[in-house]
Structure 1
Amino acid sequence: MPVGTHLKHRRILTGVAGVAALALLVSGCSSASSAASGSSAAATSSAGATSSAAGSMSAAGGSSSGVTSSGAAASGAAAQAAAAKAAVAPFLVAPTKINQSVPLTAKIPTDKPWVLITCELPQCKTISDGAEAAAKAAGIPTKLLSYKTTDGTTMTSSMKQALTYNPVAVSPIGFTQAVWDSLQPQYRAAKVIITPLSLGDTAPSDVVTQGASSQLDYSSGGKTMANYVIADSSAAAHILVQDVPAFAVLKAYGDGFKAQIKSGCTACTVSDLDIAPAQLSTGSLVPAVIAALRKDQSIKYLVSTDGAFLVGISTALKAAGIDGVKIMGGSPDINNLTALKNGQQTAWTGAAENQTGWVALDIIGRTLNKQAVAPVDGGRVTQVFTQDNVGVPSATGMSAPADYQAQYLKLWGLS
């Protein structure tokens, strides 16, 4: 049954700075199963043929080592595909539970404001709106400051201004820790914690808490997509990974994907296509992808660390006469999900960015209570979307779990 899915609409920016900011914020069930099952059947058939051939060669006094090796490889691929299928299966259904389960030992203080520092992009608004909704539900006042993604000094200024409100915590949304990291001594002196949201280079300290939706979440998403590819290809994929490694969250996704392919798929091959930020503003990303696919026609999987960058990819593939390439990756926008629904693309890992603020407030509560905080507070909810489960693509945030607000409020002792 299709699952109603709601993901953010992500604007494709033409300026290099705008694209960089976008990246910093980004920071099928049956098809995967049938592919993995088919792999197992094929491996069994191959193993049987190998056994028969080996017996004949042995009787004739010949060597069977080559055939035996082939059978072992087939058996190994089947095992790897089965393991990947099992690993990705939970992500093919809509999540029903948030990833936090331990109640707070005390309620979050409501006498001081939570300062949020947002930007001018729609993605920032989705995240900050979710954070304000979490604070309102918990009875915590908020103060909203802003910065411009084209000018890092505006983030630094807002981080300084935030301290003047005597906050319970300050949460910068996106950009990079480098522009405010030098302010940690001031925050330490003021006894104010910093809880970053959607930051790709979060470095926790006694001042900086675990981040909500950090590089750890993106790396995990890449690993999940790798398992999807391994299962779908019967552990024999040749993959083109298109990345923009200058952006930390995208590099984390790409690195997570490639690490899992390396450890979980002996026969898989990865070809890298690293794009420089300047190429994004000139519209040369898709032509570079087409050139790479033309150069090596054995590539049948295209994995992008940021789906929003693949504007016009389906049309370009058709014009180039390239078919049989499955398109997938991370951080899909409404265009990717629509193409997924129409069968033009294959799979995307999506996340509930409108819940990032709820995760952040949970981290703040645990930190103030001196409770243990798991890395990224257990992680954000995510799902691998396919044509079978994408439902009706939407420009709003992913809504699953349907009752996530109630689940958080229960943990916080407010329901």
Structure 2
Amino acid sequence: EGDVITFVNDPDAPGTPDAIYMSYEDFPKDVKVGERVLVDDGKLVFEVVETNGTDTVRLKTLHGGILKPRKGVNLPNTKISLPCLTEKDLHDLEFILTQPVNWIALSFVRRPKDVEDLRKRLDAAGHPAKIIAKIEKPEAVEKIDKIIKKANGIMVARGDLGIEMPYERLPIVQKQIIRKCIQWARPVIVATQMMESMIEQPGPTRAEVTDVANAVLDGADAVMLSGETSVGKHPTLVVEAMRRIIEEAEKAQDFEGRRPVAVPKSRTFLSDVVCFNAAKTADEVGAKAIVGMTSSGYTAFKVSSYRPNIPIYIFSDQMHMLATLNLVWGVRCYYYDRFTTTDETIADTCEILKKNGHVKEGDVVVNTGSMPIEKRYRTNMMKVT
């Protein structure tokens, strides 16, 4: 603590106890005196005392430790010029565009344009993958409403976000982002350190159990494991434990009074009203299932956003969409390509649910769809059977 070290951006410079290579070329240009530099997930903390703006930055050690090679760097106070899509990202994207992937997670999103740039590349390649914006920077939190509108889904990536902003703010920010995603019918994932202790231990801490349960109760579509399953000693145990926590928390979910409302005069207002009333009617009549037909996935995303207390069964003839919707809260998918008339399709899909044991004779089912069904209009119809 108190030592002054130098970061240089010359890859040929020899590493010494006083001088360290930093691979980010614009680091000296971006940082300003007084800004903090965090290394290795915040284990080491430095403060900028001098920069020449080209190739050298001097830093004072605020919290020292062992600096290992190839560790990540966080700049919580710095407006960085590094593009969201780096050269490596673009190289990786070339390969991704040749694969039938359903979701692409975009790291370190800072503004809506970052999502738009990736979207343009996907559209130009004719690729149907949807975009998850990873929220890891305070700048993204400030622009979260616009980012949510541009992205197809959101990940609350608490690892870097908890380093880049005061950690005491993280629980509130997480809840706010989940609430906004539900409002805009975007699936939201909560990630990082959910069951961290199980990297080594065979069971979670009580705090971790509560953390997972609270994410479920807040309405997250998914909770994600990382180190627990990639390098942990108990990958199957941690998945089983998380599943039990999720299932128990889901029994106590109650979204009454928290459901978003359809926005009048919006382009999708009619469909939104039908989807909202499908969820509401299902609760009021004690339905066992909600059924929807979709090609774009919009009906599934929207009905799910109203968080009905029963499964949502989606039928589609778009194979990629079936896999995409696996991420969405409460949705289960079936491939279906026998669209004839609306009534025949409703009868047929209900029969499929019966054969698979999801409903039985006498159960109430709320159906949504379009009329005439062969025209594939937006959802404009609801029928209780």
- Scaled to the shorter chain, the TM-score interval is under 0.3
Higher strand share: 2
Higher helix share: 1
TM-score normalised by length of structure 2: 0.25
TM-score normalised by length of structure 1: 0.24
